[in-house]
Amino acid sequence: MDVRIYIPLLACLLGPVMGLPLQTVFRSLKTSGVKELTETEDIFSRILQSNQDSEKLLREGDIAIKPGRSAKKCDDCRWDKSSTGNVIVPYIMSSGYNDAEVSLIHEAMQEFETVTCVRFMPHTAEQNAINITIGYGCWSLIGRTGGIQEVSIGVGCMAKGIVQHEIIHALGFYHEHKRSDRDNYVTIMTQNINPNYLGDFIISDSDNLGLEYDYESVMHYGRYTFSNTGEETIVPKPDPSVPIGQGYGLSSLDVSKMNKLYQCDICSSLLHHPSGTVISANYPSAYPNNANCVWLIRTPSDQVSLKFDAFDLQSSPKCVSDYIKIYDGASKTSPVLLDRTCGAAKIPRLISSTNLMLIEFVSDGAVTATGFKATYNAEKCDGKFYTPSRNFTSPGYPNVYPADIDYCFLITAPAGYKIILNISDFFLEYETSCGYDYLSIFDGDNSAFPRLFHSCGNVAVPIQVSTGNTMLLQFHTDSAMEYRGFQASYTIKPLRRN
């Protein structure tokens, strides 16, 4: 078989960094009383919705206030670096989260660890730590405040982008629209802002770390935040149509700001657009010696499809010298899509099982070559269903399914409805970790949502019920051992209203 293979000053030293919006990527921690996001709703709108009944004293919508703490200056609010150069953030996590929620929080943390020097470690006896709790809403203090400090990921906050937003606050950053040079990049429409929140739009005397303004930051307010007229409160310039308030998570500049603030010695890139290019340093000239770099590709939705246009690395037995290695996920512990590869290899198109793919490149201190150039894009779903009910099957059913396919089905019900999925027949190749052939089902319209089901072999599949109006099925097969696949049907029902 194939290889399975700032910145209103860092609430400490800096200030408002990053802004955040989020689109249809989120679901609530608990579904009771939570509305579906619309196409125009961003992360910060969801945060404000979740915080509307909170009795916590909050500034700028989700920043908790610690008595006696200056919002702009402090001398000791960065997290400590270890002797290895990593920033260590001990954490405690509430036992009230279910398995899917714990997994999502860990996935949000993992992206930090892959592209920055921040490392989250379970708390033992450390004096300082973040305590991730199911509080009333989504909020955090700014920077390390001393002792055990709360980061609330409560009802309505269970989305990767929201978790990352609040953690970035705890690392020392305010919202992007507060930074000192913001008037060069956006116009604040004060006439449209609720007077009670005008103070949340005041510029801070921030250290911007020598990095440009980030419209795409996960820390940027949305276009309509705190509007009392229904009109925009933040308008980009010179082009008013520039999107702000993305809803998917960290941006590439968010990563750069954290790495610069904490002086991380790391070669990393985050690619978060629907398509793009990955190239080795200096390409098409020779790449440097002693390189150790990663590229984390995170498309807004769907799977990642990667195609190499050029590839030339130093050749060595078993690729012990220079090599590229590709993972099906956000970390080096994820399943391997392509094991160590070097020389002038012809690499087939690679498709991830989720919207995440990690590329690792290592070179030694000797011979170099021209390197590589690759393009990626979001692989779209093959089957999209909108009817109230439908029967469907894996390709080829009841005969054997094809080898080497990545196929997905997206079911969308009207707003206010949920999906009930019944898989009446299920027979795939079996492997202990289900890494060869498998079916994954997600509680939403992309793989950033909680996973409801992941299996292979010949098993009885429980009825799957969505918490919202979308459900995604991802079907993957490898190059050998094809079976008949699966037969499924679905219906829709109204969500229960309180």
**Do the beta carbons of residue 315 and residue 368 sit within 8 Å?**
no
The identity of residue 366, as a single letter, is A
The backbone torsions φ and ψ at residue 150, rounded to the nearest 5 degrees and listed phi first, read -85, 140
How far does the chain reach from its first CA to its final CA, in angstroms? 52
Peptide bond into 238 cis (omega under 30): yes
In the chain, what's the furthest Cα-to-Cα distance?
70
Residue 447 tokens read as: 């793989």
Taking the C-alpha atoms of residue 3 and residue 204, their distance in angstroms, rounded to an integer, is 53
Sign of CA dihedral 429, 431, 435, 440: positive
Residue 98 tokens read as: 């279910």
Read out DSSP for 154-186? -TT--SHHHHHHHHHHHHT-B-GGGSTTGGGTE
Nearest 10 degrees: CA dihedral of 232, 236, 241, 246?
-80
Helix residue ranges, H only, 176-311: 252-261
Residue carrying the six token digits 């989700």: 62
Taking the C-alpha atoms of residue 297 and residue 164, their distance in angstroms, rounded to an integer, is 17
The identity of residue 132, as a single letter, is I
For the chain, helix, strand, coil in percent to 5 are 15, 30, 55
DSSP lists the bridge partners of residue 5 as none
The backbone torsions φ and ψ at residue 86, rounded to the nearest 5 degrees and listed phi first, read -90, 145
Residue 488 tokens read as: 């499924």
The backbone torsions φ and ψ at residue 80, rounded to the nearest 5 degrees and listed phi first, read -75, 150
232 catalytic residue (yes or no): no
Residue carrying the six token digits 């027949």: 425
List all residues 6 or more positions away from 93 whose beta carbon is below 8 Å from its beta carbon.
102, 105, 132
- For residue 447, the Cα-to-chain-centroid distance in whole angstroms is 10
Catalytic residue among 166, 216, 429, 482: 166
Taking the C-alpha atoms of residue 139 and residue 127, their distance in angstroms, rounded to an integer, is 21
Question: Which residues are identified as catalytic?
Answer: 166
